[in-house]
Amino acid sequence: MYRQRYPDDPGMHNPHTDTYTSVSYRHNLGFCERVKQSLVAIVVGVILLVVASGLLFWNEGRAVQTAQSLDEGLSKLLSLHTTDVAFENNNGHLVFLQGTLHTDQAVSDPVYKLSVSAAKLRRTVEMYQWVEHESKRETNEGDQTREETDYSYSLEWRQEVVHSGSFYSTVGHENPGSMPASSETLTAKRIQVGAFYLSEGLINQIDDFKEVAPSSGITPGDASLQYHGGYYFQSSNPSNPQVGDIRIKFEAAGLLKTSPIGPPTQVSIVARQQGSHLEAYQTEAGDDLEILHTELISGKEMFAKAHNRNTFMTWGIRFGGWFLMFIAFGCLTSIVTTLVDWIPVVRELVAMGMGALNAAFSISLSLTIIALGWIRYRPWLGISILVMSVTPFLFTKLRSLFWSSSSSRHRHV
């Protein structure tokens, strides 16, 4: 009844679910306005096509360069039999070594007064806050479209401050404007394996994080914190948190000695030796090699894992480039569906046909660009991919010939 009597009311509230609804109307575009939008879409499509093409071509060059750099690195790898001494005759060489991490001092959290014998200490800080969720519905009502937006609110733990001032409904959903501390990863200053000091690039790859729980005997110096369910709480009742309550988790990586947290971290490293320092090795192919694993594996296994990461990244970017290209062709051909969208049956048929055509175009062009990227490095592979790029069109042509011949036979019968 309320909505019938006040149809233009901008919103309403459901008191049982803490959900609010905003109602608005927009004028449906006319034919000429939709054509103008399609022309703008064509410009966007051209830009996306250029970006997707550049991304795909760059990705193939990157993949080849990385693969060649890894092959080069493996062929030049020098295994060190001891890490106790940094021999000068190995300077400038790409070396492989294994050992246990150690440092002169423990890493400490200055905010909550916690120290641990590790290469890294990660502090994750979250605050209990109101979070707004939004969902939209649209209904076509002739010359206008009705838009209904539902806003719902829930209490969640978040690492960043959620600014409640921008909520649709701020009453009863106010969040604090700041947090007492932020999430941060603290790193020891000088980390070694034997006589060798690790570069920042190698230290960044230490990621075997383990929880620092009270059972380890390592606890924060802040007496206001209460431990509950894997977190330290700044709350009067951790079992029933309120808005503004804080919870913190501490995790350590690169353990330096045996403790209740875990055994000391052993690492395998591939890097360039320069005196007593390990740093990035510049390959002739162009990539820097600087690899660390928090486990004892052979140099050959490390390079195999790096090849696998390169393959995974290459295919991920290929899919992303193809998807951008598919969207680009959708923008370029949108004017075709716009010209016939006033005829419902024709509109649906044309939309289906254009979707298939856009898929064929995007696949073919993607394969063509990938082939051009490989022709310089592996000609036969590039040519093979180039032949594959015309497959969608050959399939379409063969299918049309099949249907034509079938129709001719039926007419003769």
pLDDT at 2: 33
Contact 100, 196 (CB under 8 A): no
pLDDT at 237: 93
Q: Is the dihedral of CA 189, 194, 197, 199 positive or negative?
A: negative
Q: Which of 38-52, 185-199, 308-322, 335-349 has the lowest mean pLDDT?
A: 335-349
What is the share, in percent, of the chain residues with pLDDT greater than 70? 86
What is the share, in percent, of the chain residues with pLDDT greater than 90? 58
Which residues touch 342 (CB under 8 Å, ≥6 apart)? 31
pLDDT at 400: 54
For residue 6, count CB atoms less than 10 angstroms from its CB and return exposed for 0-12, middle for 13-18, buried for 19 or more: exposed
pLDDT band at 30 (very low <50, low <70, confident <90, very high): low
How far is Cα 302 from Cα 205, in angstroms, rounded to an integer? Answer: 13
Average pLDDT for the chain: 86
Q: Give the tokens for residue 261.
A: 């947290």
Q: Does 38 score more than 90 pLDDT?
A: no
Residue 98's SS3 state is strand
For residue 50, count CB atoms less than 10 angstroms from its CB and return exposed for 0-12, middle for 13-18, buried for 19 or more: exposed
| Overall average pLDDT of the 33-44 stretch | 83
CA dihedral 405, 408, 410, 412 (to 10 degrees): -140
Looking at per-residue pLDDT, the higher value among 251 and 375 belongs to: 251
Looking at per-residue pLDDT, the higher value among 11 and 303 belongs to: 303
pLDDT at 6: 35
pLDDT band at 282 (very low <50, low <70, confident <90, very high): very high
Q: Does 413 score more than 90 pLDDT?
A: no
Convert the pLDDT of each residue in 95-119 to its tens digit: 999 999 998 888 999 999 999 999 9
Q: Does 173 score more than 60 pLDDT?
A: yes
How far is Cα 344 from Cα 32, in angstroms, rounded to an integer? Answer: 18
pLDDT band at 257 (very low <50, low <70, confident <90, very high): confident
pLDDT at 1: 34
Q: Does 8 score more than 60 pLDDT?
A: no
Contact 23, 148 (CB under 8 A): yes
Looking at per-residue pLDDT, the higher value among 137 and 160 belongs to: 160
Looking at per-residue pLDDT, the higher value among 92 and 336 belongs to: 92
| Overall average pLDDT of the 223-251 stretch | 93
| Overall average pLDDT of the 248-268 stretch | 92
Q: Does 409 score more than 60 pLDDT?
A: no
Q: Does 92 score more than 50 pLDDT?
A: yes
Half-sphere exposure of 308 (CA within 13 A, CB side): 6
The C-alpha angle with vertex 405 and arms to 402 and 407, in degrees rounded to 5, equals 110
Contact 150, 134 (CB under 8 A): yes
Looking at per-residue pLDDT, the higher value among 223 and 396 belongs to: 223
| b/e per residue 139-176 (b: at least 16 CB within 10 A) | eeeeeeeeeebbbbbeeebeeeebebeebbbeeebebb
Q: Give the tokens for residue 33.
A: 């306005």
Q: Does 10 score more than 60 pLDDT?
A: no
Q: Does 373 score more than 70 pLDDT?
A: yes
How far is Cα 373 from Cα 77, in angstroms, rounded to an integer? Answer: 29
Antiparallel, parallel or unpaired: β 288-289 and 94-103: unpaired
pLDDT at 234: 94
| Overall average pLDDT of the 223-241 stretch | 92
Q: Give the tokens for residue 205.
A: 């790859």
Q: Which of 38-47, 296-305, 366-375 has the lowest mean pLDDT?
A: 366-375
Q: What is the domain partition of the chain in residue ranges?
A: 27-66+312-405, 77-127+165-296
For residue 237, count CB atoms less than 10 angstroms from its CB and return exposed for 0-12, middle for 13-18, buried for 19 or more: exposed
The number of beta carbons lying within 10 Å of the beta carbon of residue 61 is 14
How far is Cα 157 from Cα 81, in angstroms, rounded to an integer? Answer: 49
